[in-house]
Amino acid sequence: MAQKRKGIYCIEAEWSSQATDRTSVAPLLELLSQVCGIRSYHRDAVNADAAEVLLARWCQKKFRAYPILWLACHGKEGEILFQDGRATNGRMTIDQIEKVLQGKCRRTVIYFGSCSVLDLNGNRWQRFLRRTEALAVCGYCEDVDWVDSSAFELLLLTQLQENELTRAGAAAIRRKLLKRAGGMASDLGFKMCVRGAGKPGRPRRSG
């Protein structure tokens, strides 16, 4: 029996302070909707205060049909950034995100679509998962190219539709994703941590 589609709740930061910059992940969400029938809820966040409000909103009962949280923004080790991170409330640490989401994320996957955020010890991410009760967190350990990461995101977000959001399901999702695009995952420094599954390690090329 086909799996019920899992909605995507996307919080996107401004990528640049330039008024002419139209960079956005919205076209990817539209493609996923038209081709795959995946619903999405997309909102922009100009700073950490706005992101906190949107994170708290995601935890509300009415968004249970959107168990995939996509944080689309600039990033660095353990932090998401708004524009270049230097503005007032221009950054948000995983400690702050963890506090907002604590105990509210059962059977969800959190995807940091940001450079280098996942470049922390796996034990830290296990603590994040225990405290938020999320099933898994995934993202990148390196700075990533927009086009390359966009191509990988389409694979990731569609693969998340293929299994139940359980520990076994998450392990299957990761295994199938790396089988399909292991080289790309390795180049991007992709990492997926599943709650209670030990250290995930970073994917390696085969052969």
Q: State the pTM of this model.
A: 0.91
The per-residue pLDDT for range 150-176, each reduced to its tens digit, is 999 999 999 999 999 999 999 999 999
Strands 91-93 and 79-81, by their bridges, are antiparallel
Domain ranges of the chain: 8-194
Q: Is residue 204 over pLDDT 90? A: no
Task: Give me 120's structure tokens.
Answer: 């922390």
What is the pLDDT, as a whole number, of residue 3? 62
pLDDT, average across residues 190-199: 86
Using a 10 angstrom Cβ sphere, with 0-12 exposed, 13-18 middle and 19 or more buried, the burial of residue 132 is buried
Q: Is residue 201 over pLDDT 50? A: no
Residue 205's pLDDT band (cuts 50, 70, 90): very low
The per-residue pLDDT for range 55-94, each reduced to its tens digit, is 999 999 999 999 999 999 999 999 999 876 667 789 999 9
Residue 28's pLDDT band (cuts 50, 70, 90): very high
Q: How far apart are CA 158 and CA 170, in angstroms?
A: 13
Q: Thinking of the domain 8-194, which architecture would CATH place it in? A: 3-Layer(aba) Sandwich (3.40)
Q: List, as own/partner pairs, every contact residues 191-194 make where C-beta atoms lie below 8 angstroms and the sequence separation is at least 24, other chains included.
A: 191/118, 191/138, 191/139, 191/140, 191/141, 192/136, 192/137, 192/138, 193/118, 193/122, 193/125, 193/126, 193/129, 193/136, 193/137, 193/138, 194/129, 194/135, 194/136, 194/167, 194/170
Residue 199's pLDDT band (cuts 50, 70, 90): low
